[in-house]
Amino acid sequence: MDQLHLKYKDRINYGSYYTPKWVVDFVYNLLGKNIQNIKEYFILDTSCGYGSFLRGDNGIGADIDDKAILVAKKNFPQFTYFHHNSLSNISRDQYNLSDQEKMIVVGNPPYNDTTSIIRNNIKKNICSRDNDVMSRDLGISFLLSYDKLQADYVCVLHPLSYLIKKTNFEGLGNFKNNYRLKDSLIISSGIFTETSKSTNFPIIIALYEKYLFGMDYDFVYNYEFKTDDNKVFSLNSFDYLSRYITKYPNQKYVRQEETIAYFWTMRDINALKRSRTFVEKECYNTIRITKDKFAYYCYADILKEYIPHIPYYLGNCDLMINNNLFNEFKDLFMIKCVQKYPDLKKYFSFNNELPKDSDRIIEEYFKKLLREHYVD
Ligand SMILES: C[S@@+](CC[C@H](N)C(=O)[O-])C[C@H]1O[C@@H](n2cnc3c(N)ncnc32)[C@H](O)[C@@H]1O
């Protein structure tokens, strides 16, 4: 499984994190369960590495990394290989496949946000891409390429955020217009130890089938995701803080005179884990807080302390809230925050005494919010 021939820098640029065998076995499990006569299909992996996703009689592998292709040829000489950039001049012709041939795409394409700042110093744009598969994320380009290849089924790994973050989902363009999630399992990025040093994010092993009406965001919002620790969750089973306050800088709408504090931009749970909450000075990345919304930002601050109790698979979700329950106890959240940030005291006139069992109440709140997903 090791991509030992590559230097650290190249591993990042190629997105080369090879997949453990049990995951490949699971992919074939999904295919076997959902597709009849799988033998009639060509199995294509356009980012095949050492070829570990190829099985059956009609395997085709391609990779931009010539050394990986050499190893694949040695490991599995029975398959056909191409050494090329799979995101350029995408067509079935590239693989000597006609339009009539039945085809399943498998694999673990590189995911690499080409604009994100993490490891930006070594990230390079390693390949040119056809215009119709352009995206800020290389992995989304790969999904778009499978649509271009008119795969009958696609069974690949990719970050769950492609589906559950609305802007990413919209970026799935013709892929989402022509394919629908049929079966899946969520696993943790922690299985690729190198990719995430501290924060694991959810990866989906997803089987998509070609479907006339594709899928819309509502479909994803209501989909029941199964996880590798036997949990099931759907986005619609939570309420989100973003329904009550803005997550993004709001200088344009909120006047300075009304502002009592500043809060760092909020994205998802994993971002909150790394980011600051209340900040002293205003900047391009801060939100102006007014007195009437203050409690909700206190909530976000306290939620951050409880992130260790939130499972990895909810890491890309918006901050969740149980609004009724929160409103019952919102003074507790506020007093707790004002104790942490005494500068805020001047705006409020509560006694500032926390009831003795306040920690227990807050813990109970988060247990009720997260239900079976609460991590002890
Ligand atoms: C996550 S690894 C997966 C390798 C293998 N399928 C596995 O799972 O073990 C991603 C692979 O994509 C290849 N790759 C990256 N960009 C590519 C491109 N534009 N065209 C073809 N392959 C590419 C890398 O060289 C790397 O082998």
pLDDT of res. 355: 80
Mutate to test the pocket of ligand 1, among 64, 81, 140 (most ligand atoms within 8 A of CB): 64
Q: What contacts 375, CB < 8 A, 6 or more positions away? A: 308, 309, 310, 311
The structure tokens listed for 311 are 């499972």
Q: How many residues in total does the chain contain?
A: 376
Q: Is the CB of 15 under 6 A from ligand 1?
A: yes
Question: What is the atom index within ligand 1 of the atom nearest the CA of 138?
Answer: 16
Q: Could you tell me the distance, in angstroms and rounded to a whole number, from the CA of residue 286 to the centre of ligand 1?
A: 38
Which two three-digit tokens encode residue 35?
């597709």
pLDDT value of position 352: 63
Tell me if 207 sits within 8 A of 258, measured CB to CB: no
- Residue-by-residue pLDDT tens, the chain, 376 positions: 566 777 777 777 777 788 999 999 999 999 999 999 999 999 999 999 999 999 999 999 999 999 999 999 999 999 999 999 999 999 999 999 999 999 999 999 998 765 554 555 555 556 899 999 999 899 999 999 999 999 999 999 999 999 999 999 999 999 999 999 999 999 999 888 655 466 899 999 999 999 999 999 999 999 999 999 999 999 999 999 999 999 999 999 999 999 999 999 999 999 999 999 999 999 999 999 999 999 999 999 999 999 999 999 999 999 999 999 999 999 999 999 988 888 888 887 766 678 889 999 999 999 999 999 999 9
Tokens, residue 180: 């629908």
Query: Where in the sequence of the chain do the CATH 3.40.50.150 domains occur?
Result: 8-236
Question: Which pLDDT does position 127 carry in this prediction?
Answer: 81
Contacts by 213-221, CB closer than 8 A, 24 or more apart = 213/180, 214/176, 214/177, 214/178, 214/179, 214/180, 215/176, 215/179, 215/180, 215/181, 216/176, 217/166, 217/169, 217/170, 219/180, 219/181, 220/163, 220/164, 220/169, 220/181
d(CA 184, CA 262): 40
Pick the CATH number of 8-236 from 3.90.226.10, 3.20.20.450, 3.90.76.10, 3.40.50.150: 3.40.50.150
Q: Write down the pLDDT at residue 198.
A: 67
Name the 3-class secondary structure at 85.
coil
Pocket flag, ligand 1, residue 318 (CB < 6 Å): no
**CA–CA dist 26, 196 (Å, integer):** 22
Q: What is the pLDDT of residue 16?
A: 77
Going along 4-98, which residue ranges are E strands? 42-45, 59-63, 80-83
| Ligand 1 center from residue 50 Cα (angstroms) | 9
Measured by CA distance, the residue closest to atom 27 of ligand 1 is 49
The structure tokens 């007195």 sit at: 291
Alpha carbons 275 and 110: distance in angstroms, whole number: 26
What local confidence, expressed as pLDDT, does residue 297 receive?
A: 97
Q: Is the CB of 137 under 6 A from ligand 1?
A: no
Tokens 């059956």 map to which residue?
Answer: 56
The H or E element containing residue 155 is: strand 153-159
- pTM over 0.75, yes/no: yes
Closest residue by Cα to residue 49 from 30, 75, 23: 75
**pLDDT of amino acid 212:** 97
pLDDT the model gives residue 17:
80
